[in-house]
Amino acid sequence: MSINAAATSKNVENESSNKLNTDHPFWQIIRTVPDFPKVGIDFYDITPLLRSHINEVIDALLAALPEGVMDEVDCLGAVEARGFVFASLLAGRLGKGMILLRKPGKLPPPVANKAYALEYGKDTLEMQNNLPPERVLLVDDILATGGTLTTAYELCKSADHTVVGALVLLDLVDLHGEFPVPVYTVLKA
């Protein structure tokens, strides 16, 4: 199955970029799980895309990036956990390195950490804080309330990295405010 990406950027001043693209072919593959992980939350299960359409997903993520963005990026900031999948595949294809943003206790010291609120609870992210400063593109699967991605951004900044943007498969546009750097996405809902 060949799937073409509908690339959009949240921060680009373009009327068409603000439109939802719920007719994208990926929506035929993504499962919506109601009331998961708790009542009132609709969970978008992207694992069927990972199982059978991973090359199309990586192609779509790359197509979502404006020309020249990757020239400004030294490495990818992989956000736990599904961000690891996308960032790993993108890093391999692009020849870029990765910085891991993980749950507590998974990285050797020294680490910086920051707690944050999720749409269904609380969590904490950590990253090694002894790495040389780099220009980072954050990579995650879904941008919902923005708590995880904002925390990843703040951790990178606190470690003297320059965050040039964020790349996500799915942006739930009504659940978050503006992000401090451009957000590039394949799907909007």
Q: Which two tokens stand for residue 150?
A: 């904002």
CA separation, residue 155 to residues 40, 113, 119, 120 (Å): 30, 7, 20, 21
**72, 80, 82, 93: the active-site residue:** 82
Could you tell me whether strands 111-118 and 121-128 are parallel, antiparallel, or unpaired per DSSP bridges? antiparallel
The closest alpha carbon to 57, from 26, 83, 94, belongs to 26
82 is catalytic: yes
178 is catalytic: no
For 26-42, b where at least 16 C-beta lie within 10 A, e where not — what string?
beebbeeeeeeeeeeee
**80, 119, 135, 154: the active-site residue:** 119
Question: Which residues are the active-site residues?
Answer: 82, 119
